[in-house]
Chains A and B, each alone.
Chain A
Amino acid sequence: MYVAVKGGERAIENAHEWLAEERRGDVSVAELSIPQIREQLALAVNRVMAEGSLYDPDLAALAIKQSRGDLIEAIFLIRAYRTTLPRLGLSEPVDTGAMAVDRRVSATFKDLPGGQVLGPTFDYTHRLLDFALAAEGFAPAEAPQGTPREEPVPHVTEFLDREGLIQPEEERDATPPDLTREPLKLPAGRPLRLQALTRGDEGFVLGMAYSTQRGYGRNHPFVGELRIGKVAVEMEIPELGFAVEIGEVTLTECETVNQFKGSKTEPPQFTRGYGLVFGQTERKAISMALVDRALRWAELGEDNVGAPAQDEEFVLYHADNIQASGFLEHIKLPHYVDFQSELELIRKLRREAETATRREAAE
């Protein structure tokens, strides 16, 4: 008997209600609050802000709650909200040199102005499940406090720059293009590439970066510096004619120093990869810097060895997890019509093949 597809509307409504129920889970367990997510799942919140391209910890926490902890779904919620917001203007470029650093490590110099600041990192934790956390009401011992160092924290690359050992960065005054307001055009140029990478999927960018380390477009990176902390965001207010501070954001910045033996066009020198991501997101920032460096082969006169991470089109078209998951998951939508046309084609081709085989057998 033929059950036509009527009832789609009711099915959708019922599915949404069931989903809401599942989202809440067992009602005898206390409901998660937005502040709880924001404070206690801060790294998830950071990822959602970074890939959602919207710095708002409360909205990111709400998105995580609404998406039942599916971070790509949460990123999608933030993106869909972000795109409806008016663009009021552009901030001044943030000065990461003036960052109030919580963490700042250099892998290239044992000590340096500003010092090595380990900060709140998992790096040297032993990955043993801490069963004490399973008991609620656990309050951590207060971490010892030091006096913040008042000295400036200059970028490591500046030291190398002064000696002329590192490839200088071109000064640009042009307003960078906005990936979210213009269609992607190739070749994209570095500002656009960096934009795409900073909002790209963490797993994808990590995989691409890792592939360069294993030899697919190797570029010998050192983490010259990784810094995490707050920077002021300033914006010029037309009525005032000067820039005022409108808020602050936490950023993770990674500058890699890459070995470079020189090419036809460039002398031997160190080169740079750059990563800058919202929030404490250092895996992403380091990955971004490696991929940025790999994509710079053309401007540095290096060989294109055909590595995936060197292929701008490949990286930029596949880094976005909202595009990727949308297209991937859409194959679960109805495809009766195209499948039907394939069915007919396959049946016809098989009939013809069978007839041909039979004819051959008879001959």
Chain B
Amino acid sequence: MTRAQPGPEASMSDYNFAYLDEQTKRMIRRAILKGLAIPGYQVPFASREMPMPYGWGTGGVQVSAAALTPDDTFKVIDQGADDTTNAVSIRKFFEKTAGVAVTERTSDATIIQTRHRIPEEDLTEDQLLVYQVPIPEPLRFLEPSEVETRKMHALEEYGLMYVKLYEDIARHGEIATAYAYPVKVEDRYVMDPSPIPKFDNPKLEMAAIQLFGAGREQRIYALPPYTKVVSLDFEDYPFERTRAQEDCGLCGSGESYLDEVIMDDAGGRMFVCSDTDYCRARREAGHRGSMADEGEAFA
């Protein structure tokens, strides 16, 4: 019997467009459509083993593979940056398996796969944002059983979550959740927005379609454009968006989400935009931060 065995000389063209076979893509697209029809609901799907490990974005990769067409322009960010190792690796994967155009410019991309950030620049109706999701279940750390949490969603029983938020306030004076801050979608499903900083939560109401893929947990969920997404809070303790109280050292932005970079072993530090494309565009437009000269040589 002969076996389709990609030898050393075999190229990725031995695989289907965007790696997955058409049947699998069809199955994923169905899950995506169901997700869009029921915003915030976690749709089970038959996640495949991908050639990168679970935890490296296999859910996002499968959703991107199902959504990509040959005419798309693809962008990948991890922690807001295009050049973190895993973003590079995923971008290369689709360059190789789909041959699509890739870009680092947010506005040029038709599909953006992201891990842990929403781009600073507003997205448009012509764009698709694909999130990599580690644990899709917002109630997971309150109730470890999937059987139970599915029941809770079905019955819209979210009391446990509010009790948790209340206990935070009682103990710390505020809601002690800094990322993966839970939201309620269209007054129905409580949803985990993936581990984005809560700074990004208000941007979840946007013009672009947002798709969330959790490979290991075999779940896909979605937010159609302009869907109502409310961060959970209390009237007397409203949701608060936080960022480092600094300006970007490179581009001077006082609006963007910042990464803290340790400069030396004496406590020296610098804050820079986590969204590298946003920062680049600002610098190209002539904005300069207080440490621009030092940083420029390396950025």
Q: Which residues of A contact B (CB under 8 A)?
A: 1-9, 11-12, 59, 76, 79-80, 82-86, 180-187, 313, 317, 322-323, 325-331, 333-338, 340-345, 348-349, 352
Contact A2 B173 (CB under 8 A): no
Q: Which residues does chain A contribute within 8 Å of B299, judged by CB atoms? A: 2, 4, 6
Give the residue name and chain of the A residue nearest to B243 (CB). A344
A183 to B43, alpha carbons, bound, how many Å?
A: 10
Majority DSSP secondary structure for residues of A touching B:
helix
Does B130 reach chain A (CB closer than 8 Å)?
Answer: no
Residue of A4, A7, A182 with most partner-chain B CB within 10 A: A4
Separation of A348 and B21 alpha carbons in the complex (Å): 49
Given known contacts A334-B86, A337-B80, A3 and B173 CB-to-CB distance under 8 angstroms: no
Q: Do the beta carbons of B84 and A84 come within 8 Å of each other?
A: no
CB distance from A201 to the nearest CB of B (A): 14
Q: Given the complex of chains A and B, what is the CA–CA distance between A335 and B247 in angstroms? A: 21
Q: List chain A residues, Cβ under 8 A from B199.
A: 341
Q: How far is the CB of A192 from chain B (nearest CB, A)?
A: 13
Q: How far in angstroms is the closest Cβ of chain A from B51?
A: 5
Interface members, chain B 250-299 (any A CB < 8 Å): 250, 257-261, 263, 270, 272, 274, 276, 291, 294-295, 298-299
Interfacial residues, chain B to chain A (CB-CB below 8 A): 4-5, 15, 21, 44-51, 53-56, 58, 78-81, 83-89, 92, 116-117, 134, 145-147, 172-174, 176, 178-180, 195-199, 216, 218, 242-244, 249-250, 257-261, 263, 270, 272, 274, 276, 291, 294-295, 298-299
In the assembled complex, which residues on chain A have CB atoms less than 8 Å from the CB atom of B15?
A: 84
State the CA gap A5–B21 with chains docked (Å): 34
Give Cα A11 to B86, complex, Å. 11
B178 near A341 with CB under 8 A, answer: yes
Please give me the residue from chain A that is nearest to B260 by CB atom: A340
Contact of B53 among A82, A186, A330, A343 (CB under 8 A): A330
How far, in whole Å, are A79 and B80 apart by their CA atoms in the complex? 31
Rounded to whole Å, the gap between the CB of B59 and the closest CB of chain A is: 11
Interchain CA distance A186-B148 in the complex, whole Å: 11
* Known interface pairs A80-B51, A183-B45, A330-B53; A337-B116 also in contact (CB < 8 Å): yes
Pick from A6, A327, A335, A340: contact of B298, CB below 8 A.
A6
Question: 19 pairs across A/B with beta carbons < 8 Å?
Answer: A1-B263, A1-B294, A2-B250, A2-B272, A2-B291, A4-B298, A6-B298, A8-B84, A12-B85, A85-B4, A183-B44, A313-B145, A322-B49, A326-B56, A329-B53, A330-B55, A337-B274, A344-B242, A352-B173
